[in-house]
């Protein structure tokens, strides 16, 4: 049994890496094989996988994680402006700075639990959002958002004699531009590492203790664990994941705006996690992919395209169907999102992964869940 | 001194809206144990009751514009004016206060449907799931409203008589040029009336007493009687009504748009938590407290001293209060701590 | 029964001195003095509301007494966090099963074993559970002692109430406590299960351990205890061997009389 586990770690990672890296191929049939979207899959995947380390393992529902994503983005853009257009320092700095903020906010918020914790994180995130729009304008450039400029110092780049003649410089990884497929492969590689770390945490004694805190925190205290440092560690790790995602977003498109920190953005990552399956390894990533894919499809559609899609129907039916579906597409994508949110929580609180388990069960080859992976609840 | 009085009134006004929304939220927590993230949407729906009522009253017919004689000009003339002349004009003018009559049954019905259709199935689920499902519902309500009313704020004026300002300066024996909008004063009085009505209902009716007993001790919610489901529905409908009425009357102050509910919801949640989950007086006190603090923080004297303080004051106060008093101002031990 | 009761030279392990605790105006504990000697099984009995649970809670850090002292192996316990008290060697078994319902039985027992090994906090995210062979084996053998090993991979929330109580005992035992505090270990159990539990508590490692038992059931008390203290309205009214307690007129008056009628 133990051998199986070790083996499965390697096997899981190999399969995972293969699936992620071949994404441009297998997403082709569903029309998702273009770099912009694939990058989004990977980046929001990282965000959700990290969020799951907090919410999935400890059950603490944070409504402020978008703040860390925003902080990561700002840090990365500043790194591009001041240091170098290379993404490595930008991403590392984004993770570190987001981690520091997570440490501070987590330290304060984790003094409370339950809904009080949720509201505290929400309050901190809203403060960050409001400040980014007002007083911190010198750092965040307010509503316009932080952008690159040709005359930025870029100390390290200029040391190496890189001169930008006209237009804006591009972000790169030691010379490879971050646009298009190369951008996706960088994000994918980071996703694989991020997923590996999450897998290790899930299957470590540390991860199991987090699950036990979720299950019965009082008991953990009387069992001899100081639960707060455990929770804080999980909070900081998930904050760093968010910072990483933010840094990557800025690396691909060097622009940072405060709207990334709004509480609805925090709500979105919760939805991704729930949709895929809270507390499962792969679920949150699936959730991120599903939501970003649907967003992409639905928000691009409009009435005339709908008419075309339903062209095969008799005209009277076509008119009805088009009129009914129209509010859900284009600008109305949020309506679809809200509906999805409700449907998932009502009918499939365990997310897609629970659905998969149920189907497996139906066909009789559902196997017992790993004791360490925990309940999708 | 003048500026302080104005800010105090502004704060009370804002606080009144927070308090009304927070009141319904707390009522739902305390008795039903439901964390309702769609409560802000109910406030917004209330405001849109006023908008729709106004639209209905002003349904118009194209008529020839007599004032233009050079050519044939047409203008929209509301049917009410055509039928009843000046009386019709007056009715249209009073659209907002009259829409309360429409809002009461509508909001009660919405509350009823929401509780029966959704909330009831979530009593036994975790708070996290309640938050998520109602959050989804809030998004849906918001988007539906946007679909029908558009994204822009819709001006919904108060009746002409009270669209001016009251000389509050004279009343308080201060500068006589000191004025304050009538409608805002009316809103304040209206809110206080609603709050008193809710408290009176809870204090003096048998139903209210049972509800209070249930809030004081969640274990005794069973006392709500055999027909507990029905009583829960009523409590929820009342909460929806209070939020809706707060919205109706707020429409002239802030032209309603589809996301006003969310804006108020986040703040009202902070208010509820600061007041102490499940404490009605706490919710009202915290609502006014935070409203007043917010409006004082926006005074130039304060914001030049602490730049940006007006943006974050509510959250800052919430953080401090929660860290110092774990259960908010008037919360009790063991309530909603999961 | 162990030899401790006759060995008067044994050293005092837990000393409770002059402890008072009031809730509002109610004196839950007034001037409670109690000494638990190494190796003994000490039962605390008393009618409902006598303050038994309050006393226990004052020992393990859930409540802080208004005054007085609680010393465990020479260390002051008052004001210490529950998790530190646990590591000092005083472990509590709960009255209503406090387990991890979503985790497997095996995990439930491994967690306290980790606490023993890792201390109050350890960050080891890259260590694999699969390599925790020693702890896993210890947990399995502990489960076996309590006849729970057959369904080690089931969720703890899904087993019967009696099994949960035994799981609790296993979770306490695997920490090798110096002092085990048991809060009504047989409450709500059927006679058969009660006897089984008495058997468990009297034999093997459990039998040798120093224990404090809060109990209602006189049958359990007299089968287990070396010494008994009687708590009534917040006062300790008598402490002594089961024989002494049985014949103590004060105890009869305050407690045993009515209880005997109940039985």
CATH no. for residue A286?
1.10.3470
Name chain A contacts of C172, Cβ cutoff 8 Å: none
| Cα–Cα distance, B230 to B233 (Å, whole number) | 5
C122 C-beta neighbours (distance < 10 Å), count: 16
Closest residue of C to A233, CA-based? C123
Interface mutation vs chain C, best among A368, A371, A375, most C CBs within 10 Å: A371
Closest residue of A to C135, CA-based? A205
Is residue C16 assigned to a domain? Answer: yes
| Cα–Cα distance, B41 to B49 (Å, whole number) | 12
The answer to whether A131 contacts B311, with C-beta atoms less than 8 Å apart, is: yes
Is residue A256 assigned to a domain? Answer: yes
The pLDDT-based confidence of B226 (bands split at 50, 70, 90) is low
| Cα–Cα distance, A259 to A124 (Å, whole number) | 15
Average pLDDT over residues A84-109: 95
Cα distance from A211 to chain C (closest Cα, Å)? 8
| Cα–Cα distance, B328 to B325 (Å, whole number) | 5
| Cα–Cα distance, A268 to B136 (Å, whole number) | 10
Is residue B60 assigned to a domain? Answer: no
Residue B278: phi, psi to the nearest 5? 85, 5
For residue C129, pLDDT over 90 is answered with no
Closest residue of A to C96, CA-based? A219
Residue C20: phi, psi to the nearest 5? -120, 145
Is residue C57 assigned to a domain? Answer: yes
Starting at the edge strand found earlier in the chain, the sheet holding C210-214 runs: C90-93, C179-183, C210-214, C41-45, C227-232, C235-240
Structure tokens at C106: 């095996």
Cα distance from A56 to chain C (closest Cα, Å)? 13
Contact A205, C126 (CB under 8 A): no
**Ramachandran sector of residue C248 (left: φ over 0; alpha: ψ -120 to 50; beta: rest):** beta
Q: Which of B125, B146, B312 faces A131 most closely, judged by CB atoms?
A: B312
Name every residue whose Cβ is closer than 8 Å to that of residue A173 and which is 6 or more positions away in sequence. A86, A87, A88, A182, A186
More confident residue, B184 or B309: B184
The answer to whether A371 contacts C99, with C-beta atoms less than 8 Å apart, is: no
Q: Which of B143, B269, B273 faces A335 most closely, judged by CB atoms?
A: B143
Q: Which chains touch C (3 or more CB pairs under 8 A)?
A: A
The answer to whether A339 contacts B135, with C-beta atoms less than 8 Å apart, is: no
Q: Which of C94, C104, C175 faces A371 most closely, judged by CB atoms?
A: C104
The answer to whether A203 contacts C99, with C-beta atoms less than 8 Å apart, is: no
Q: What percent of chain C has pLDDT over 70?
A: 93
The answer to whether C129 contacts A205, with C-beta atoms less than 8 Å apart, is: yes
For residue A358, pLDDT over 50 is answered with yes
The pLDDT-based confidence of A364 (bands split at 50, 70, 90) is low
For residue A190, the model assigns a pLDDT of 96
Greatest Cα pair distance in chain C: 63
| Cα–Cα distance, C127 to C136 (Å, whole number) | 14
Question: How many beta-carbon pairs below 8 A join chains A and B?
Answer: 122
In terms of Cα–Cα distance, which of A249, A333, A247, A193 is closest to A39?
A249
Q: Which of A197, A205, A377 faces C132 most closely, judged by CB atoms?
A: A205
Question: Does the beta carbon of A374 lie under 8 angstroms from any beta carbon of chain C?
Answer: yes
Which of residues 325 through 354 in chain A touch B, CB cutoff 8 A? 327, 331-332, 334-335, 337-342, 345-346, 349
Using only C-alpha atoms, chain B has a radius of gyration, in whole angstroms, of: 22
Question: Does the beta carbon of C92 lie under 8 angstroms from any beta carbon of chain A?
Answer: yes
For residue B219, the model assigns a pLDDT of 60
Question: Does the beta carbon of A10 lie under 8 angstroms from any beta carbon of chain C?
Answer: no
Cα distance from A255 to chain B (closest Cα, Å)? 23
More confident residue, B83 or A279: A279
For residue B90, the model assigns a pLDDT of 78
The answer to whether B143 contacts A263, with C-beta atoms less than 8 Å apart, is: no
DSSP-assigned beta bridge partners for residue C22: C27
Q: What's the domain count of chain C? A: 1
Angle at B133 between CA B130 and CA B139, to 5 degrees: 135
**Residue B271 belongs to a domain with what CATH number?**
1.10.3470
DSSP-assigned beta bridge partners for residue C41: C211
pLDDT digits (tens, 9 = 90+) for A165-189: 777 888 888 888 888 888 999 999 9
C214 C-beta neighbours (distance < 10 Å), count: 22
Question: Does the beta carbon of A61 lie under 8 angstroms from any beta carbon of chain B?
Answer: yes
Is residue A340 assigned to a domain? Answer: yes
Is residue B160 assigned to a domain? Answer: yes
For residue A375, the model assigns a pLDDT of 36
For residue C3, the model assigns a pLDDT of 45
| Cα–Cα distance, B246 to B242 (Å, whole number) | 6
pLDDT digits (tens, 9 = 90+) for C131-177: 889 999 999 999 998 889 898 999 999 998 888 888 998 999 999 99
- Provide the domain limits for residue B224: 2-52+103-324
Contact C228, C235 (CB under 8 A): no
Q: Which of A267, A270, A338 faces B143 most closely, judged by CB atoms?
A: A338
| Cα–Cα distance, A99 to A63 (Å, whole number) | 17
For residue B224, the model assigns a pLDDT of 56
| Cα–Cα distance, A73 to A254 (Å, whole number) | 8
Is residue B331 assigned to a domain? Answer: no
Which of residues 207 through 236 in chain A touch C, CB cutoff 8 A? 207-209, 211-212, 214-216, 218-227, 229-230, 233
Name every residue whose Cβ is closer than 8 Å to that of residue C203 and which is 6 or more positions away in sequence. none
Structure tokens at B4: 């302080």
Cα C109 to the chain's mean position, in Å?
17
Q: Which of C107, C112, C128 faces A371 most closely, judged by CB atoms?
A: C107
Q: What's the domain count of chain B? A: 1
Which of residues 112 through 151 in chain C touch A, CB cutoff 8 A? 112, 114-116, 118-133
Question: Does the beta carbon of A372 lie under 8 angstroms from any beta carbon of chain C?
Answer: yes
Continuous segment of H or E residues that includes residue A170: none
For residue A365, the model assigns a pLDDT of 55
User: Exposed, middle or buried: residue C124 (CB in 10 Å: 0-12, 13-18, 19+)?
Assistant: middle
- Provide the domain limits for residue A299: 2-362
Residues of B with CB under 8 A from a CB of A: 35, 118, 121, 125, 127-129, 131-133, 135-140, 142-144, 146-147, 262, 266, 269-270, 273, 277, 307-308, 311-312, 315-316, 318-319, 322-323, 326-327, 336-338
In terms of Cα–Cα distance, which of C157, C159, C111, C153 is closest to C135?
C111
| Cα–Cα distance, A152 to A79 (Å, whole number) | 10
The answer to whether A119 contacts B322, with C-beta atoms less than 8 Å apart, is: yes
Most confident of A199-213, A311-325, C221-235: A199-213
For residue A367, the model assigns a pLDDT of 46
Average pLDDT over residues A220-243: 96
Per the listing, tokens 């038992």 go with C213
For residue C60, the model assigns a pLDDT of 87
Is residue A374 assigned to a domain? Answer: no
Question: Does the beta carbon of C176 lie under 8 angstroms from any beta carbon of chain A?
Answer: no
Name chain A contacts of C113, Cβ cutoff 8 Å: none
Name chain B contacts of A136, Cβ cutoff 8 Å: 308
pLDDT digits (tens, 9 = 90+) for C45-99: 888 778 888 898 888 888 889 989 999 998 998 889 999 999 999 998 888 888 9
C154 C-beta neighbours (distance < 10 Å), count: 16
Q: Which of A116, A267, A337 faces B273 most closely, judged by CB atoms?
A: A116
For residue A263, the model assigns a pLDDT of 79
The answer to whether B143 contacts A334, with C-beta atoms less than 8 Å apart, is: yes
The answer to whether A116 contacts B326, with C-beta atoms less than 8 Å apart, is: yes
Name chain A contacts of B137, Cβ cutoff 8 Å: 338, 342
| Cα–Cα distance, C212 to C210 (Å, whole number) | 7
Is residue C11 assigned to a domain? Answer: yes
In terms of Cα–Cα distance, which of C107, C66, C71 is closest to C90?
C71
The answer to whether A338 contacts B269, with C-beta atoms less than 8 Å apart, is: no
pLDDT digits (tens, 9 = 90+) for B96-138: 888 899 899 999 999 999 999 998 888 888 888 888 889 889 9
The answer to whether B128 contacts A61, with C-beta atoms less than 8 Å apart, is: yes
Q: Which chains touch B (3 or more CB pairs under 8 A)?
A: A
Interface mutation vs chain B, best among A55, A217, A295, A345, most B CBs within 10 Å: A345
Q: Which of C83, C107, C132 faces A225 most closely, judged by CB atoms?
A: C83
In terms of Cα–Cα distance, which of B266, B258, B295, B291 is closest to B17?
B291
Structure tokens at C240: 């002594």
Angle at B154 between CA B149 and CA B158, to 5 degrees: 135
With an 8 Å CB cutoff and a minimum of 3 pairs, decide whether chains C and B touch.
no
**Residue C10 belongs to a domain with what CATH number?**
3.40.50.300
The answer to whether A264 contacts B121, with C-beta atoms less than 8 Å apart, is: no
Contact A60, A122 (CB under 8 A): no
Q: List the beta strands (DSSP E) in chain C.
A: 12-23, 26-37, 41-45, 67-72, 75-76, 90-93, 179-183, 210-214, 227-232, 235-240
Name chain B contacts of A114, Cβ cutoff 8 Å: 127, 336-338
- Dihedral sign for Cα A233, A239, A241, A247, please: negative
Contact A174, A157 (CB under 8 A): no
Contact A28, A84 (CB under 8 A): no
Angle at C101 between CA C95 and CA C104, to 5 degrees: 120
- The number of helix segments (H) and strand segments (E) in chain B equals 14, 4
Question: How many beta-carbon pairs below 8 A join chains A and C?
Answer: 120
The pLDDT-based confidence of A373 (bands split at 50, 70, 90) is very low
Name chain A contacts of C133, Cβ cutoff 8 Å: 2
In terms of Cα–Cα distance, which of A224, A239, A194 is closest to A51?
A239
Q: What's the domain count of chain A? A: 1
Contact B114, B37 (CB under 8 A): no
Is residue B154 assigned to a domain? Answer: yes
The answer to whether B125 contacts A349, with C-beta atoms less than 8 Å apart, is: yes
- Provide the domain limits for residue C62: 1-80+215-263
Residue C104: phi, psi to the nearest 5? -75, 165
């Amino acid at each position: 049994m133990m051998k199986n586990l070790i083996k499965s770690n390697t096997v899981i990672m190999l399969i995972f890496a293969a699936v992620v890296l071949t994404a441009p191929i297998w997403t082709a049939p569903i029309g998702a094989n273009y770099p912009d979207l694939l990058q989004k899959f990977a980046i929001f995947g990282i965000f959700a996988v990290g969020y799951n380390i907090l919410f999935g393992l400890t059950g603490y529902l944070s409504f402020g994680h978008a703040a860390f994503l925003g902080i990561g983005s700002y840090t990365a853009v500043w790194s591009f402006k001041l240091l170098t257009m290379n993404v490595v320092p930008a991403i590392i700095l984004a993770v570190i700075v987001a981690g520091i903020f997570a440490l501070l906010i987590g330290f304060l918020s984790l003094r409370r639990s339950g809904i009080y914790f949720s509201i505290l994180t929400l309050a901190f995130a809203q403060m960050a959002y409001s400040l980014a729009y007002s007083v911190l304008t010198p750092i965040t450039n307010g509503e316009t958002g932080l952008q690159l400029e040709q005359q930025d110092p870029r100390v390290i780049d200029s040391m190496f004699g890189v001169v930008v003649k006209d237009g804006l410089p591009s972000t790169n990884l030691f010379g490879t531009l971050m646009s298009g497929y190369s951008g996706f492969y960088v994000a994918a590689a980071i996703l694989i590492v991020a997923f590996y770390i999450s897998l290790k945490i899930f299957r470590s004694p540390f991860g199991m203790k987090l699950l036990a805190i979720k299950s019965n925190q009082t008991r953990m205290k009387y069992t001899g664990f100081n639960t707060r440092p455990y929770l804080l560690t999980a909070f900081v790790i998930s904050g760093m994941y968010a910072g990483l995602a933010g840094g990557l977003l800025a690396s691909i498109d060097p622009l940072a705006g405060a709207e990334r920190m709004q509480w609805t953005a925090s709500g979105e990552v919760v939805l991704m996690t729930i949709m895929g399956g809270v507390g499962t390894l792969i679920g949150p990533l699936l959730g991120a992919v599903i939501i970003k894919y649907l967003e992409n499809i639905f928000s691009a559609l409009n009435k005339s395209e709908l008419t075309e899609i339903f062209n095969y129907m008799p005209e009277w039916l076509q008119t009805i169907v088009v009129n009914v579906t129209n509010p859900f597409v284009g600008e109305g994508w949020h309506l679809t999102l809200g509906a999805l949110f409700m449907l998932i929580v009502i009918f499939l609180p365990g997310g897609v992964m629970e659905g998969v388990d149920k189907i497996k069960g139906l066909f009789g080859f559902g196997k017992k869940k790993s004791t360490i992976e925990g309940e999708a609840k | 001194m003048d500026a302080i009085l104005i800010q105090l009134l502004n704060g009370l006004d804002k606080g009144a809206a927070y308090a009304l929304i927070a009141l319904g939220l707390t009522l739902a927590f305390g008795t039903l144990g439901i964390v309702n993230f769609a409560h802000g949407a109910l406030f917004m729906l209330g405001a849109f009751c006023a908008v729709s009522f106004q639209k209905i009253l002003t349904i118009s017919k194209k008529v020839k514009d007599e004032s233009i004689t050079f050519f044939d000009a047409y203008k929209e003339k509301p049917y009410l004016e055509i039928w009843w002349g000046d009386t019709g004009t007056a009715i249209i003018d009073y659209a907002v206060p009259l829409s309360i009559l429409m809002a009461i049954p509508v909001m009660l019905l919405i509350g009823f449907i929401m509780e029966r259709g959704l909330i009831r199935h979530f009593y036994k689920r975790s708070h996290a799931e309640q938050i998520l499902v109602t959050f989804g519902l809030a998004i849906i309500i918001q988007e539906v409203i946007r679909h029908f009313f558009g994204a822009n704020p819709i001006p919904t004026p108060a009746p002409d008589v009270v669209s001016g300002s009251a000389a509050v300066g004279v009343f308080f024996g201060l500068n006589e040029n000191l004025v304050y909008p009538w409608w805002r004063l009316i809103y304040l009085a209206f809110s206080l009336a609603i709050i008193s009505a809710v408290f009176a209902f809870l204090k003096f009716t048998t139903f209210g007493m049972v509800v209070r007993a249930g809030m004081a001790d969640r274990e005794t919610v069973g006392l709500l009687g055999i027909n507990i489901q029905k009583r829960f529905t009523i409590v929820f409908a009342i909460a929806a009504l209070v939020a809706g009425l707060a919205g109706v009357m707020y429409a002239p102050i802030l032209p309603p748009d589809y996301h006003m509910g969310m804006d108020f919801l986040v703040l009202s949640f902070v208010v509820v938590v600061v007041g102490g989950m499940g404490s009605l007086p706490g919710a009202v006190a915290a609502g006014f407290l935070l409203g007043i603090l917010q409006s004082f923080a926006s005074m130039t004297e304060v914001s030049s001293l602490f730049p940006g303080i007006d943006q974050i004051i509510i959250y800052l106060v919430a953080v401090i209060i929660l860290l110092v008093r774990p259960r908010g101002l008037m919360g009790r031990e063991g309530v909603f701590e999961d | 029964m162990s030899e401790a009761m006759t060995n008067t030279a044994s050293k005092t392990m837990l000393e409770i001195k002059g402890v008072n605790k009031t809730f509002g105006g109610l004196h839950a504990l007034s001037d409670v003095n109690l000494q638990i000697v190494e190796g003994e099984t000490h039962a605390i009995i008393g009618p409902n509301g006598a303050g038994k649970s309050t006393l226990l809670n004052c020992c393990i850090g859930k409540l802080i007494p208004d005054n007085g002292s609680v010393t465990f192996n020479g260390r002051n316990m008052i004001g210490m966090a529950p998790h530190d008290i646990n590591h000092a060697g005083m472990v509590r078994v709960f009255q209503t099963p406090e387990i991890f319902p979503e985790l497997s039985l095996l995990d439930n027992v491994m967690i306290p074993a980790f606490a023993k090994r890792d201390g109050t906090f350890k960050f080891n995210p890259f260590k694999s559970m699969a390599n925790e062979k020693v702890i896993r084996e210890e947990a399995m053998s502990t489960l076996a002692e309590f006849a729970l090993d057959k369904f080690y991979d089931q969720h703890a929330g899904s087993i019967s109430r009696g099994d949960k109580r035994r799981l609790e005992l296993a979770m306490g035992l695997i920490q090798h406590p110096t002092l085990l505090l048991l809060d009504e270990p047989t409450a709500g159990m059927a006679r058969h299960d009660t006897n089984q539990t008495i058997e468990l508590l009297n034999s093997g490692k459990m039998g040798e351990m120093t224990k404090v038992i809060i109990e209602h059931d006189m049958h359990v008390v007299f089968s287990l205890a070396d010494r008994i203290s009687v708590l009534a309205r917040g006062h300790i009214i008598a402490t002594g061997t089961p024989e002494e307690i049985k014949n103590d007129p004060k105890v009869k008056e305050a407690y045993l009389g009515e209880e005997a009628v109940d039985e």
